Amino acid sequence: MTEGRGAKPPDIALVVAMGQNRAIGRDGNLPWRLRSDMKFFRKVTMGKPVIMGRRTFESLPRVLDGRLNIVLTRDPDFSAPGVVAVASLEAAIKEAQAWAAREGADEIAVIGGEGVFSSVMPQADRIYLTEVHAAPDADTWFPELEASAWREVSRDAYGPGPQDDYDFSIVILERL
C-alpha cells in the first residue's frame, strides 16, 4: 500500500486491558496475569506500528517483534535498540503513519500508559478493550470513556484459561 493523494491515513487504535475500576497498572506492571489476553494483544498489534510511553516500554521484557516500537519520552537522552524515540505525540503519530504507509499497515496501535492513552484519546478511531472481571489495586488508570462517543461493535466473554487470573471480555469499540 502506498500513501498517495487522498489515501486514508491508518486508523488509531488503543489496545488496553482494564479492570472494572479502570485499573491498568501497578508498580510498572500489569495488576494481573492473563496469558490469553497476551495472545490477543500480539495478534491485534502484529505488523503495526505501536506507540507507547517510556515506562510502558520499560515494563516489557523486550522490544515487540514484528512491530515498529515508538517510545514517547521527555528524556532527550533515552535510546534503546530497536526503538524509535520521540518527544511528542505528533512526532509519534507521524513516524507511525510513515511506517504504516511503507509497510501496508492500516492501523496504529497505542498501548499505553495512562498519559499516552489520555493524550491520544481524542484522535482514536477504535479501542480493543480487554475488560478484566476484577478490581485490583493499581496506581495507573485508563481514562474515563465518553459513552456517547463510542459504539460497541463486538464483545466476547472468556473464562480464565490455565494461566489467567480472572475471567475477561474482549470488547471492540469504534468512535461514532
| Residues spanned by the domain of 46 | 11-175
Residue at 42 is within a domain: yes
Q: Please indicate, yes or no, if residue 3 is contained in any of the structural domains.
A: no
The pLDDT of residue 6 is 60
Per-residue pLDDT of the chain (176 residues; tens, 9 = 90+): 444 556 789 999 999 999 999 999 999 999 999 999 999 999 999 999 999 999 999 999 999 999 999 999 999 999 999 999 999 999 999 999 999 999 999 999 999 999 999 999 999 999 999 999 999 999 999 999 999 999 999 999 999 999 999 999 999 999 99
Tell which residue, 136, 100, 83, has the closest CA to residue 8: 100
In this prediction, residue 1 carries a pLDDT of 46
Query: pTM of this prediction?
Result: 0.95
Domain count, the chain: 1
What is the β-pairing status of strands 49-53 and 68-72? parallel
Residue 6 lies in a domain: no
Give 52's DSSP letter.
E
Q: Judge contact between 98 and 111, C-beta under 8 A.
A: no
Q: How far is CA 66 from the centre of its chain?
A: 15
Res 7: pLDDT: 77
Looking at the domain assignment, is residue 121 inside a domain? yes
Tell me, what CATH number does 102's domain have?
Answer: 3.40.430.10
> For residue 144, what is its C-alpha cell?
474515563
Examine residue 162 and state whether it is found in any structural domain, yes or no: yes
Residue 26 lies in a domain: yes
User: Is residue 1 situated within a structural domain?
Assistant: no
Residue 62, number of CB atoms within 10 A of its CB: 8
Q: CA 16, 18, 23, 25: dihedral to nearest 10 degrees? A: -40
Residue from 37, 20, 3, 26 nearest 165 by CA: 37
Position 2 in a domain = no
Three-class SS of residue 31? Answer: coil
